[in-house]
Amino acid sequence: MTNPTTALDVDLELVEHLEDRAAHIRKQVVRGAYLIPGTVHLGGPLSATDVAVALYYHFLGFDPENLDDPDRNRFILSKGHNGVLLYNILADLGLYTFDEVFGGYNKPHHPFGMHPNMHYIRGIEASTGSLGHGLSLGVGLSLANRADGRTSRTFVMTGDGEMEEGSNWEAIMYAGSHGLSNLVAIVDFNRSTGSFRHGEHMVVDWKPAFESFGWDVVEIDGNDMTAVVRAFSQLPPVVPGEKGKPVAVISNTVKGFGVDFMNGPKWHLGSINDENLQIAIESIDRNKLARRSH
């Protein structure tokens, strides 16, 4: 793959449209957190928003009216504790209302819990929550699609802390050795787990690690929509039945991106109150304009 920082210019109208949607989704994540008693995952959903928005609003070809299309591209949020991000995107795309999502969020018998459940929520491709399962599920879907001669892709987003799970590396080894060119793994590298900052625990040099297992690797600023669009635009076509290298996208992000006062392990889980709600909304607007003028 071509390095996205040196690629030809992208469609700037598309970039601006996706930036607008990303800012809206970030605001909805914050507004939803305001309605939820106690704490909710915030830092991770906000760091991953740009990539998820680019996929759902363009690159997946996501069709709310045709969720069972066997040829559809699929997205698995392996770091399932960031489900509020997906819920807000699905609501914005018309599958649900904001009130349906947050009217009883994470309460008994309510479909929208902290972790997404495909049996209760239309539009969710895989039930995730126990970290380290999503990439293995993606391997299985990619194998099945290749066996069926489909050209669809499976995208799996993991967290950088989640990459400490051994099951991920088994999936990475298998995907590389079996040439699953229809699989894309995205590492949301926000340099912070719920307990550690990057460097305080396990440290992995992602690019050589993936490459050693036979993957192509592209590194991007995952909070720069231009870089995100370039990276996904350059994915090589999937040839039915043929083997090739799976692709890893190392998405360098900032935990809590868009909200200036959110960063680091403290905001892995957090709460929004009357005092900081408006500050957060204004921060998201200000950061969107700053990015666009950069």
pLDDT for residue 80: 92
pLDDT for residue 37: 82
Question: Which residue carries 């599920």 as its tokens?
Answer: 137
Q: Which residues have CB under 8 Å from 12's CB, separation 6+?
A: 226
Q: 3-class SS at 183? A: strand
pLDDT for residue 195: 59
pLDDT for residue 202: 64
Q: 3-class SS at 213? A: coil
pLDDT for residue 66: 95
d(CA 172, CA 178): 10
pLDDT for residue 197: 61
pLDDT for residue 6: 40
d(CA 189, CA 194): 13
* Alpha carbon 205 to its chain's center: 20
pLDDT for residue 290: 67
Show pLDDT as tens, one digit a residue, over the chain (294 residues): 444 444 457 899 999 999 999 999 999 999 999 998 888 889 899 999 999 999 999 999 999 999 999 999 999 999 999 999 999 999 999 999 999 999 888 889 899 988 999 999 999 999 998 899 999 999 999 999 999 999 999 999 999 989 989 999 999 999 999 999 999 999 999 987 655 666 556 667 999 999 999 999 999 999 999 999 999 999 999 999 899 999 999 999 999 999 998 876 778 878 899 989 999 999 999 988 766 655
What burial class does residue 12 get, using C-beta atoms within 10 Å of its C-beta: 0-12 exposed, 13-18 middle, 19+ buried? exposed
d(CA 47, CA 61): 22
Which pTM was predicted?
A: 0.92
* Alpha carbon 66 to its chain's center: 21
Pairing verdict, β 183-189 and 216-221: unpaired
